[in-house]
Amino acid sequence: MLAISDVADSDLQLKSQLKRKPRILFIAEAVTLCHVTRPLVLAEGLGSDDYEVHFACCQSKRNLVENESRRFHSIDCVGNESFIQNLSYGRPAFSKETLVGYVEQDLELLQSVRPDLVIGDMRLSLAISARKFGVPYWTLTNAYWSPYANQPWVVPELPVTKLIGSTIANPFFKAFRRPAFAMHCRPLNQASAYFSGKPLGYNLEKMYTDADEVLYADAPGLVPTYNLPHSHHYLGPILWSSPGAMPDKWKTIDPARKTVFVTLGSSGPVRLLPTLVSSLADADPKINVLVATSGRVGLDKSIRNRPNVLVADYLPAEEASKHSDLVICHGGSASAYVALASETPVLGIPSILDQHLTIEYIRCSGAGESLRAEDANESRIVSMTQQILGDPGYANAARKLAKEFSSLNPSERFRQLLERSTVIR
């Protein structure tokens, strides 16, 4: 005959076994690698004993994000080239038809997974689908898209800037930014009206942060905001570096020389890469040039065979940045923040608005400079590289930011927000 205590213990064990772990669904819009790796880092910080983690992304990123601790779901995503081309011509990133299709696919995924919480990175359709399904939705974005930031707006690379120049175009951009941004809001408003009969609004910053909770992948010292509501949170820069070691050729490079790491990532103006590398290599043969092409462009043998140049499709950005005196990138947060965390200043060559915003904040901090893509000729590249390498103030400012970055732990902060939240209890 069982004792009462034995029955109670058995009942508790049964309840424990029946209690389901909180189910978290990450959805990444893979228009650039950054929007995949940021939620990936947060997902990797969740213990499989405590959470059931699902990750939805395009099929091409499956090998990157899937493992035994999280289940992968394939979804449609706009291709990188289409995304960049739309922005370069001043068109909305997504069409109404694309967003309507996204919402329908989101709803099928939510019905299948039935998460306690969905977290999206650049998946704008979740502002519609998550509400329609009735699941809490958190968005991961940058603080420079916050309605509570004082952004240093700069006209991006557009057909008009190539025609009349950025100096003339910039005042017009600032004057007509709101109507232009409203045009970019139109497809999502049309998709929202299709499903709910009402639009979401015409403020682009509010649209990018339209969620129950907003998570900023930034440091407040670099990208400050004001009067933040309680639902907006700084996590800190979310750093990711491709796995692997530096190629063997690295061992033959003289460490006493100045080293420049060049990477334009998945969304930088890759057409400039041959000019960048050759101009740096020719300007000073005593400068080491490390190049990561991201598999987007080939460099001919006349560049690859130079003794002071190392070229690879991919390099571990963190290690390459730590061994460099300057990182030249597209200026966006993914590459620039890894450089700054390594105490290395940045020369940004931005084209799209997101990149311009990041590098402007870095420039204002003193840790880097910006060179517009349409202005990046050989002489400008060389002169700005020499300017940064010759002035220790840039490296000092980078070290200051690195100190702030190291004080922030995005994964830990994210777990704390989950534990305090009522939506997964």
Residue scoring higher pLDDT (406 or 265): 406
Give the pLDDT score at 242: 82
Residue scoring higher pLDDT (47 or 379): 379
| Residue 146 pLDDT > 60 | yes
Q: What are the structure tokens assigned to 342, written together?
A: 């390594």
Residue 383 burial by Cβ neighbours in a 10 Å radius (0-12, 13-18, 19+): exposed
Q: Which residues pair with 262 in a beta bridge?
A: 291, 328
Residue scoring higher pLDDT (200 or 79): 200
Q: Are 402 and 341 spatial neighbours (Cβ–Cβ below 8 Å)?
A: yes
Give the pLDDT score at 13: 45
Residue 10 burial by Cβ neighbours in a 10 Å radius (0-12, 13-18, 19+): exposed
Give the pLDDT score at 128: 97
Question: Which strands, in side-by-side order, build the sheet including 23-28?
Answer: 70-74, 52-57, 23-28, 117-121, 137-141, 213-216, 232-234
Q: Which amino acid is at 209?
A: T
Q: What are the structure tokens assigned to 120, written together?
A: 């999206």
What domains lie within the chain, and their CATH numbers? 19-236+409-420 (3.40.50.2000), 248-406 (3.40.50.2000)
Q: Please report the DSSP string for 210-278 in residue order.
A: -SSEEEE-S-TTTS--SS--TTEEE--------SS---GGGGGS-TTS-EEEEE-TTTS-GGGHHHHHH
Q: Return the DSSP state at 2.
A: -
- Of all residues in the chain, the percent with pLDDT exceeding 70 is 95
Residue scoring higher pLDDT (242 or 50): 50
- Distance CA(415)–CA(211), nearest Å, equals 18
Q: Which amino acid is at 422?
A: T
- Of all residues in the chain, the percent with pLDDT exceeding 90 is 68
Q: Are 292 and 320 spatial neighbours (Cβ–Cβ below 8 Å)?
A: yes
Give the pLDDT score at 202: 94
- Distance CA(365)–CA(384), nearest Å, equals 17
Residue 68 burial by Cβ neighbours in a 10 Å radius (0-12, 13-18, 19+): exposed
Longest dimension (CA), the chain: 91
| Residue 15 pLDDT > 60 | no
The mean-pLDDT minimum among 111-120, 163-172, 239-248, 377-386 falls in 239-248
- Distance CA(312)–CA(293), nearest Å, equals 6
Q: Residue 275: CB partners within 8 Å, gap ≥ 6? A: 376, 377, 378, 381
Give the pLDDT score at 122: 96
